Structure 1
Amino acid sequence: MSRILVVDDEPAIGWSLREMLTDEGHAVDVTANVADALAAATRSRPDAILLDVRLPGRDGIDAIPDLRETGPAPIVVMTAFGDLDTAVRAVRAGAFDYLVKPFDLEHVSAVIARALSQWLPREPAGEPEATPPPLVGSSAAMQEVYKRIAAAAADERPLLITGLAGSGKDLAARAVHAHGPRPGGPFVATSLAALAPTAIGGELFGSSDAAGLLEIASGGTLLIEAIEVAQPEVQARLANVIATRELFRGGTAYPLDARLIVASRLGPETLALDQRLTALVSPAPIAMPALADRCDDIEPLVRSFLARHAAATQAATVPAVSPEFLAAVLGRDWPENVRDLRAAVEHAAVIARGAVLRPEHLPPREVTATGAGPLETAGHGVDTAIKDWAAAARAAFGRLPEPDLHNRAIRLVEATLLREALAHAGGNRTAAAKLLGLDRATLRTKLRQFGLDD
């Protein structure tokens, strides 16, 4: 039987935790403030502690070092006011885990069981030295992100961050950097999707007479976005640099002194990386949720964007938001997630010119963050699909003597386009050829090549 100490000034929570833990066979002590908790911990030496943050007289997290002096019990922090700062403070102070109220008692039970069976002592650390960039939201999905960021900040291994376009991968990386041991060092970011394939190696590793980003980020953090587009040989070289902590350039070895974060729009289950690189990356990636999975955060995000826009434009006041505006925002799809939402809110602030924001101030539905219409939006979808296909194709064919990805992609796209043109023309090949800009003989040949000449 284990002894659990619950520290919470809300009687209902203390009662419910006592009942649940007692039913599971634990002995339970409940206190309502830090002074009583310290006395109980000294007296009974608990095997685990559930500790609220906001307690009368003294903050729970501030009391963790004193509770540590009473014994090595793992401490699980509880709070109704979850944010990134609280998560980081809790982890840095040595908390085993972090629970956000209201919580599911079954989840509490699982955390306590894990704490009792798997806990390893952690050394308390000081307060973070830098303020992280703004990550806004208190939804369950973002609470998980905050916990992962807090854990990743204390781990120097390479980190993977995944998430759809515009979901905040860059902000998460900056938060890891700001709360890690290198906040005073440079934060350097690059997107491999913006580079020609032949330029990626030089960008990362440098040349005989110029340093690459791995050196430029020395003493800080390097974020490599769109890691999935890196060629296999680049990924293999990157894995070797990480493993040896050395970078060779122009015949000279340079020490690697940068925290590496890689990011991708692909999830871990579909992301095909070099085997050695995968083994070197932390097994606890950060998955940034889509905006559709954190709707509770939309109103705080809107208000945050408005406040930042007002500050940037030196506006006298932050515009007010009507309920109808919030309803319109909640009723829309945001293909590029937080990035789209921010662009729309800033557009509305400009159009409203200080007045209360209303639905008519939002940009038209067909306009995206880049000002694109339906054709451009569809084109963006094609671009995303091609990138995903290319990543999968490299994994499947990249080691063949002739991977031939170009011809494979062209055949895939061309066959689909021919089928769509024929369907649109009702099977009339003359009309389909005109729509495609081909003569009938060329169309007939292509249909025969793709087995579409029924």
Structure 2
Amino acid sequence: MKPVWIVDDDRSIRWVFEKALTRENIAYKTFSSAPEALEALEDQQPQIVVSDIRMPGNSGLTLLEKLKQHYPNLPVIIMTAYSDLESAVSAFQGGAYEYLPKPFDVDHAIELIRRAINESTDLENTIIDECLTPEILGQAPAMQEVFRAIGRLSQSTATVLITGESGTGKELVARALHRHSQRANKPFIAINTAAIPKELLESELFGHERGAFTGANTLRKGRFEQAEGGTLFLDEIGDMPSDLQTRLLRVLSDGHYYRVGGQAPIQSHVRIIAATHQNLEQRVNDGLFREDLYHRLNVIRIRIPSLHDRRDDIPLLARYFLQKSARELQVETKRFTDSAMAFLKNLPWRGNVRQLENLCHWVSVMAPGVSVDTADLPEDIKTISANDSNEKDINGTTNWQNALKHEVTSSLAQGEQRILNRLVTDFERILIEQALIHTAGKKIEAAHLLGWGRNTLTRKIQELGLEEDKSTNSGA
């Protein structure tokens, strides 16, 4: 691993870092000035840089600017005294990873360095050549199953049905299937069957002859013909009109089709990959989708997990999308703070990966600094109710641990102090109130259910200021 660079004209500060980093088995190099570090940069590269903001000659901000010119994704931690707070703001605007106020706690400094090392390592592993189409990102077990399926199908020409919620990346999976198949050097053609009016969809798919209908002034090749030898991706197949379902079934069965208005059959050598966010089995039962076509399409099925089912992938995806947006917009790559990332991981993500990508693009444009906290997120994200944030499990019961996690994350993001006292008080109040309701106000029974003695319950009621109504007294 590349070393951590410490840049400070104060010998005692360098000595503290040398001892602490040695103890933590973290490689390091120390420099007494910015020019010295910049000279070393000509033939060396650090993992991260920790630099003082005020030094003789070039300042830490100048060093930050030059480091970012050479290595835009290099984390730079700026050390600053309290009186340099305005300079610290400038440091963030210049792309600093974090600032470390002096005097600092050594353990906190090491923790900050370790976090920067981990994030920079992860970022290096997710940087993708801009000239290549990115593979699908994901480390969650459910996504590993998708990757394995793509690998197994690499030598197959079988029809594939991809299912999953809107925004989960079904087209990305279809493109990956094509890219890793023997048809990779042939066309990949995609069409969203729900986005094209019914009267135009037939011509879009199969093409038309000149004069086939009013306005058909020239022969037009359809998507099947354009995809010849390659892959045709039919997105939102569940919305295909019934008469076109019949024509598609005929192509899959007979291997040929006719242009609209055409008389000569055209042989088809196209692999079909279909996708839908709908329950096709239910649509078959409802008479909205042909059962025979369903079985033709459902040869191999790949299910794409929702983003809320792969929450551990959110940091990886967010880093990639922030990096992608920064390249497209030619701006500094931004990053989410730990509290903002914790907040994002607890959102419901009904728009799935597409919603996360859109958020990252918004952040790259609108967030004021490089470090993006919860307060910098758009209002529609911040105001999502905790009740919407995955508080219900698959059986519909309340998942109070997630609700508590959301409450803690939100309170920390707002800078609240003494969170534990407030939450414990609220927790005990709810327990007591519900226990008394359950026992019709009988304290002895309520105390027994809570695992307390009667005197403890009475004391808690007094401490919490709970009013004892008649029903409560009647059980005393």
Q: TM-score, normalised by structure 1?
A: 0.50
Bigger radius of gyration, 1 or 2?
Answer: 2
